[in-house]
Structure 1
């Protein structure tokens, strides 16, 4: 059963990972600009769903967007890890549905330091609904009430940080709502571990850039990918607990 779940998760990760680069390219624009509709050399993007779905190639065959293989393997790897630790628990379906969107958010934020509302707001609502559904099934490994409390508390804490910190964007606050629900599903210790891991990953990366001379003390960096990585660490920990 475990081997089947991991295989199915990998297949899901591969299938969705192929689609992420095109969407990430279209969404990777500064705030206030329209989503991209042409490739870097000016060819119009056509395909399924108004040109949103498909490989990262334009009508002339030119590649664009983030490195497809990297996104492909990251998405498949994340899904495999979640399946290996969660097992046949109901919330595994939720984690697998959320994973491609979270990878997409990380890619966009790394590209343009932006977490678009078109992703974060539906993701927040969808997470609450999906976890509520998972809590109805026998064998669920967490609590929907705890998830909602995690959403409110972590979102509130990040909002306070946003008011007093220059390094935190409002997009990070909205992302914290999702992460609070996901981590809160497994309880407060997992929330603390996931948030601490996110800040630790971000700090280590920032220090590494400073020592490499690729950033200064006032340089800004995308924080979303590190928050998401920390949340993944927290979920892996929470799902591995009996």
Structure 2
């Protein structure tokens, strides 16, 4: 019962931030090297906030574009609530809650366009390391900033090797690994291995089912993020 207020607050945070995701998801879901969308498919400029990033994308005709705000907000709220239930009142919970909306946005864009934009992954790398550095010096922290930093570097190096040998693995996944490695590394090397393997189960399943090969283009990002979430759940209970 002591964690119920924390879980409730986390769910409300997820809902409030989740409703902001559809518009940037639509704008960012474009092929590589194309500019972010500022208009609908018919060429009408997006309305509401001009070419900004808030709320679901709508054009002058009134049509809405991008994922459902209700669906995205529900997913974000659920993830935040689960993180709060697993982590409890530890300093790193604030870090996980701040990262969750960005993670949901990345997953949404990767599903839609098979890309992980640098405008999200690169700032997230700096943010997660700085935030975990702050969390590490606060009382009750359940992880190590040093192992988070090493996890970030090692996982990114491993993903870079995969990028070189597999055409189905994008360089955006390599940059995302800097974030995922830091999150998993916070709880130690065993969690890095478990979380990374969990993220690959989807790709392995597709290959075994004959639906993908070594050169297939697979949106790995959402499943790598899901594997990291599983790693956080396990790591928070083990620490």
- 1:229 matched to 2:226? The reply is yes
Residue 105 of structure 1 is matched in structure 2 by: 106
2-structure distance, mates of 1:216, 1:84: 36
Which ranges of structure 1 fall in alignment gaps of 5 or more residues?
Answer: none
What is the SS of the residue equivalent to 1:168? coil
Deviation at 1:207, TM superposition (A): 5.0
Residue 77 of structure 2 is matched in structure 1 by: 76
TM-score where L is the length of structure 1: 0.92
Deviation at 1:70, TM superposition (A): 2.3
Give the number of aligned pairs: 237
Residue 238 of structure 2 is matched in structure 1 by: 241
- 1:43 matched to 2:40? The reply is no
Residue 118 of structure 1 is matched in structure 2 by: 119
2-structure distance, mates of 1:5, 1:60: 42
Distance 1:126 1:70, change over 3 A: same
Residue 132 of structure 1 is matched in structure 2 by: 133
Greater alpha carbon shift after TM alignment, 78-87 vs 216-225 = 216-225
Distance 1:49 1:130, change over 3 A: farther
Deviation at 1:2, TM superposition (A): 0.7
2-structure distance, mates of 1:59, 1:141: 50
* Mapped contact 1:40–1:64 kept (Cα < 8 A): no
* Mapped contact 2:25–2:67 kept (Cα < 8 A): yes
Quick one: which of 217, 221, 224 aligns to 1:220?
217
Deviation at 1:127, TM superposition (A): 0.5
* Mapped contact 1:142–1:187 kept (Cα < 8 A): yes
Residue 17 of structure 2 is matched in structure 1 by: 16
CA displacement, residues 79-129 of structure 1 (integer Å, 9 cap, x when unaligned): 010000000000000000000001100111111111110000000010000
2-structure distance, mates of 1:219, 1:128: 32
Distance 1:152 1:98, change over 3 A: same
Which ranges of structure 2 fall in alignment gaps of 5 or more residues?
Answer: none
